[in-house]
Structure 1
Amino acid sequence: MSTTTVTTEPLSPVGADRAGAWSALRRGRGLAGLILVGIVVLAGVLAPWLSPFAPDQQIPGATLQPPGGEHLLGTDSVGRDVLSRTLYGIRIDLLVVFLAVPVGAALGSLLGLAATRYDRLDTLVQRAFDLILAFPTIVLAIALAMVIGPGVWTIATVIVLAEIPVFGRLMRTSVLTVRQAPYVEAARSVGADEGWIMRRHILPNCLEPLTVQLALAMSVGVFIEGAMSFLGLGITPPTPSLGSLIKEGTQNAYHSPLFVVGPLVVVVVLVLGLLLISQALAARSRRR
């Protein structure tokens, strides 16, 4: 029997519910998460039009002004408008998180998938994952900053390395689990080859847990950027980022505790939105 005539989609839980993930995000926690993330993304995209001043503009006579008037979030120690720097700082965070996390997810998933095909490669990949996980993220960030210096590429590299073993092991576990599912056994019994089964059954059913983890990993990426910039290992002045703005706000908290509120609220809203999206996708996965 030709494998092109084999049809086993009705046995797979993926077939009739491809729009389920989107429907889960259109109500409840998923919708709330999309709205929160959308607000932050929109604020970052529209920063050139929403910012009352340039992010690096030093305003004469406006040093450490408290929030109010034309400076809604106040000014920093060199007279720069904190609101403008916060809006532009969002752009840096979004650029790092929405690029670095998917790259780490893709590399980790490919390694995890390859490890399921070859036993020797599986052993090598698992030991490499153990080595990466043996280093706490901050220790890894310090080591990389010493080698290549602080900056956006250091943050991106740390996020990619931190996510590779997470997605790699998740993909490996998912593939090994789905391989034993009844609909996969049914496909084999009627003559389907392994490549066809991988494309039509195993990979589609492995994407759902990876999607949930992707939303969660993006929230972790926000924390990594914030922690590294706060410690001086990330974005370097005068370029603003949410982490560096929180650091500057705490240094000037003696003059006004409100200096740190703006960037801190943005971080909370962004992380909360991503967590709500992750929870909505996870809840849908549990119901299936």
Structure 2
Amino acid sequence: MIVGFGVDVLDIERVDLKLANRVLTEDERMNRARIDEEYIAGRFALKEAYFKALGTGIDGNSFQDVSFLNGRFGEVYPVLHRYVRPVCGVFNRIHASLAHDKFVYASVILEKERGGIYIGLGSNLGDRLENLRAALGEISEFCDIISVSKVYETKPYGKTDQPDFLNCVAEIDTDLTPSELLEALLNVERSLGRVRTEKWGPRVIDLDILFYGNLVIRTPELVVPHYDFENRIFFVLPMRELNAHFVHPVLKTSMEKLYQKLLDEASAENAGIEVYGDV
């Protein structure tokens, strides 16, 4: 369902290089070797189109709330530094397009697709399987759980001197924004007794937002897609099980290809994973 659509057109000759200080984020500056009027005009138009798609316009928003970066294939993709709930609901997919000659032409579509939001679950303390089941039970109180992968037993990642993990991935549908979903998941962790004392340490339950549709989010509180996802077999394998064709929105690579790459590398971390059963 389309929840927002915005377009903007700008004459490149009207753009002054000084506008870069107002329009460009640090990510956008790092994304381009040479900052010229065409680049600034494109980002200005894309952001105006995005604000229009939200249904708010520039009012209450900032050009620093979103970056529009050039991807590996030359495509434009947005990075949200602040998720703003549109007038017509929430969105979990965003599509952006930019063309230019003497003018720049930008369009942004915000879409709410059922599902497409993936949560990683892990536990290596206590009754691990029951911890996963309890977490899914609490998650189902504020989300619609569409599907859950098999449970996999995996060696610990990062800090290896701890018990093995049970991991699975759930696809959900929700009307919570990414930040609201994060807070709800943290509440589930606290409810089940997780205490954060050590990075990568043992845990009763660990809940991570792996993907929120095709959105790329970078805020102090939340990074989506999940950091280092492509190197974590305990995420990639259950994601492949649920949706082998799902494409990582930054790497532009499917779960099937990410899984095959991990198999080819045959690292120690990737070797130690087995099907444990169903949740």
Decide which structure has greater strand share: 2
TM-score range, shorter chain: under 0.3
The higher-RCO structure (CA 8 Å, 6+ apart) is 1
Greater Cα radius of gyration, structure 1 or 2: 1
